[in-house]
Amino acid sequence: MKIGVFCSSSDKLPTQYYDAAVQLGRWIGENGHTLVYGGARCGLMESVATAVRHAGSINVIGVVPKILIDRDMVSQQIGIKIPTENLTDRKTWMMKISDVFVALPGSVGTLDEAFTVIGEASIGNSTKRVIFWNVDHFWDGLFAMLDSMQQAGAVNKPLDRFMIKVDTFDQLTNALAGN
């Protein structure tokens, strides 16, 4: 399985977020899956990729925008590098080659990537979904907002067709196994 991971590139996050990224990366590597991610050598991105490699796997695909290449911000953990012109191209490639997505804590880039996948699925262009790992309640506010949108009638299709929130690592791996 090719697991696309959307996550923060920040190096200023609480420890539990890095721990979660390492736990996910280790699981991906130990179970023979492939990591597909943004390819940066910082933040949760580097943590998850390093954990995949430390688990003995070379199955790391970095989909790397030109700006990261130009700034020498590309991870050394990448087994296959797919250079892209920009972030939009990166999303297109990640959606093309990933089977399922996991959203770890992240910022606007993570949301942009996740909601592009969800938007494509909601109009029938894809059957892929995003699993939001709610590490330390990180995604609670987002899901409260989405619930409010659904209650107001602004959402045409049930969002749980395209996205789910999991609170534990066991729930995450069960959701990935059920993909």
**Angle formed by the axes of helices 87-97 and 108-122, nearest 10°:** 50
- Region label for 58, one of left (φ > 0), alpha (ψ between -120 and 50) or beta (otherwise): alpha
Q: What is the pTM of this model?
A: 0.95
Give, in order, the Cα–Cα distances in Å from 69 to each of 8, 32, 74, 77, 119. Answer: 18, 28, 6, 14, 28
Q: What is the span of the domain harbouring residue 65?
A: 2-177
- Count: domains in the chain: 1
Output Rg (C-alpha) for the chain, integer angstroms: 15
**Angle formed by the axes of helices 15-30 and 169-177, nearest 10°:** 30
The residue type at 157? K
Structure tokens of 116? 């592009």
- pLDDT recorded at residue 178: 83
Share of the chain above pLDDT 70, in %: 99
Q: Residue 145 pLDDT > 90, yes or no?
A: yes
- pLDDT recorded at residue 34: 98
Q: Residue 179 pLDDT > 80, yes or no?
A: no
- pLDDT recorded at residue 11: 95
* Residue 116 pLDDT class (50, 70, 90 cuts): very high
**Could you tell me the CATH number of the domain that includes residue 42?**
3.40.50.450
Structure tokens of 7? 């996550």
Q: Residue 95: in which H helix or E strand, if any?
A: helix 87-97
Give the burial string for 112-126 (b: 16+ CB within 10 Å, else e).
Answer: ebbbbbbebbbeeeb
Q: Which of 106, 141, 152, 148 is nearest to 4 (CA)?
A: 106
How far out from the chain centre does Cα 142 lie?
A: 16
Check residue 65 and report its DSSP letter. E
Tens of pLDDT, residue by residue over 34-70, are 999 999 999 999 999 999 999 988 899 999 999 999 9
